[in-house]
Chain A
Amino acid sequence: MGQAINEIQEELIEEFGLFEDWADKYEYLIDLGKKLAPMSDAFKTEENVIKGCQSRVWLHAEKQGELVVFQADSEAIIVKGMISMLIRVLSNHTPAEILAADLYFIDQIGMSQHLAQTRSNGLVSMVKQMQHYALAFS
């Protein structure tokens, strides 16, 4: 068993707690985006695309044993940074754990604006879609 979802959230909150100004925080987020494990091109299909108004997000999910494993990508690097964190928190957990998850870390690290409606970046739909996959796999 890996770490529990809330342990990972606490870890992220601690990491972001190191930065005093927004620019450092965003540089870290951008860095996370750049380091996101590349998504296989085979999964970047029309079926896996989540259309935001401004940028596209691709999400693929599969079940490995009891666990749901996510892969995702985006055209925009800040969105990729957010995706990287969402995958770190939610991937490799059971459907029940994913469905029960309360993603409080996003607010605590000051990134909730990226999940606001106006951002139109596909992230809100991505989180919903991750839960739908969990439901489908449960």
Chain B
Amino acid sequence: MAEKLNIDQIRADFPVLHQQVNKAPLIYFDNAATTQKPKVVIDALQHYYDQDNANIHRGLHTLAERATTAYELTRTKLASFLNSPSTDQIIFTSGTTAGINLVAQTFGRANVGKGDQIIVSNLEHHSNIVPWQMIAAEKGAEIKVIPVSDAGVLDIEAFKALLNSRVKLVAVNHVSNAIGTINPIEEIISLAHEVGAKVLIDGAQSVAHLAVDVQVLDMDFFVFSAHKLFGPTGVGVLYGKRDLLEAMPPYQGGGEMIKEVSFAGTTYNELPYKFEAGTPNIADVIAFGAALDYVQAIPAEALAAQEEALLAYATEKLQKIPGLRIVGTAPEKIAVISFVIDGVHPQDIGVLLDKFGIAIRTGHHCAQPLMQRYELVGTCRASFSFYNTFEEIDRFVLCLEKTLQMLG
């Protein structure tokens, strides 16, 4: 039996959860959009600006050294978090979107040619579609799409049929942001490798819920955002295989990414700095280190058990509401429930639940191709984290019923 989390104690670590919204206690069920931050993360930010603020890597003075050490410590923590073979394969970006664009504009530009193919899935967020469309249009390459079943599961047989030697890259998410499906990335990666294609996994929605070992999964590229993992906004991570990263041309030019500059020519810095031009987001990277410590101190099994229990409880209660249909019923899901209700626009539900102090997400979730697949204008999405409670789900369901009465 896994150890049970002390939810009251955990909730005490998150200041934002303890407030009234529209005269009701806040219920935060929009964790797939961004997670809340524990006090240790907020304190780390404050401490950095109070005590250590300096530009990193080149200063000789004490503050610069403290800031550099703290910044690089987060990289070390991330290497361990992902089981990366080295710290210099961990590249800081501004977020998942920036990481995908970096790979598209460097690896993509160097390796995708006319008549080549890039495979994405029907479950992708726009940020894992548009950067590939841009490079495909530029190079005269084609985008192919892995179809998704009514339940929200990727069709692996169809994926196999799409694979051929013209496929240079496969870009899929680990977990769907819109409906919560956990994709079989191990199988996808191994199948892609059989035809010599590289794979980018968008881990934005998985890192807060699932363990990721980049070596076991044989990842080529893995990208995610700190803010969905209890860290600050404005920080993202790109992991890449060393040979791929070394062969890739630099992305943005500037300071930090160079070795020597002269008007005769410039030589570029080594990994990871080749891809970190300019002064990075030092404070938020350091605070992200505190978030990693925080989440790793929680027993992983207990965390997963809490989220699974919340998902099962909410699914059962929501299914009892007449006219409610859950969109995305894959057997492997994280704690996300997307739903629609007959004859009711999701936006109306979102507006009224907010009046009850309940934060959910409504709309197309930046996954319009998936909404088109299901012929929906959008859904309501409740996404849970381990700090959510069964009592919150009870009140959410009650308020949803009241909302439907008002709209009825």
A residues sitting closer than 8 Å to B (CB atoms) are 22-23, 26-27, 30, 53-55, 75-79, 114, 120-121
Any chain A CB within 8 A of the CB of B352? yes
Contact between A27 and B406, CB atoms less than 8 A apart: yes
Contact between A23 and B363, CB atoms less than 8 A apart: no
Contact between A78 and B351, CB atoms less than 8 A apart: yes
Any chain A CB within 8 A of the CB of B137? no
Cα–Cα, bound, A71→B377 (Å): 23
24 contacts between A and B (CB under 8 A): A22-B22, A22-B355, A23-B355, A23-B402, A23-B406, A26-B352, A26-B355, A27-B406, A30-B348, A30-B406, A53-B363, A53-B364, A54-B346, A54-B350, A54-B362, A54-B363, A55-B377, A76-B345, A76-B347, A77-B345, A77-B348, A78-B351, A78-B352, A120-B363
Any chain A CB within 8 A of the CB of B378? yes
Given A26-B406, A27-B406, also A55-B347 (CB < 8 A): yes
In the complex, the 9 A-B pairs of residues with the closest C-beta atoms, listed nearest first: A76-B345, A54-B363, A76-B347, A54-B347, A55-B347, A78-B348, A76-B348, A77-B348, A78-B351
Give every chain B residue within 8 A of A26 (Cβ-Cβ).
352, 355, 406
Any chain A CB within 8 A of the CB of B7? no
Cα–Cα, bound, A7→B350 (Å): 32
Contact between B355 and A55, CB atoms less than 8 A apart: no
Q: For chain B residues 338-355, which have a beta carbon within 8 Å of chain A?
A: 345-348, 350-352, 355
Q: Count how many chain B residues have C-beta atoms less than 8 Å from C-beta atoms of the other chain.
A: 17
Given A23-B355, A30-B406, A76-B348, 13 more pairs with CB closer than 8 A: A22-B22, A22-B355, A23-B402, A26-B355, A26-B406, A54-B346, A54-B363, A75-B377, A76-B345, A78-B347, A78-B351, A79-B347, A114-B351
Q: Which of A23, A27, A30, A121 is within 8 Å of B347, CB to CB?
A: A121
Chain B nearest CB: distance from A70 CB in Å?
Answer: 21
Cα–Cα, bound, A114→B347 (Å): 11
Cα–Cα, bound, A77→B349 (Å): 10
Q: Which of A27, A75, A114, A120 is within 8 Å of B345, CB to CB?
A: A75
Cα–Cα, bound, A132→B406 (Å): 34
Cα–Cα, bound, A78→B355 (Å): 13
Q: For chain B residues 352-389, which have a beta carbon within 8 Å of chain A?
A: 352, 355, 362-364, 377-378
Which of B348, B355, B362 has the most CB atoms of chain A within a 10 A radius of its CB? B348
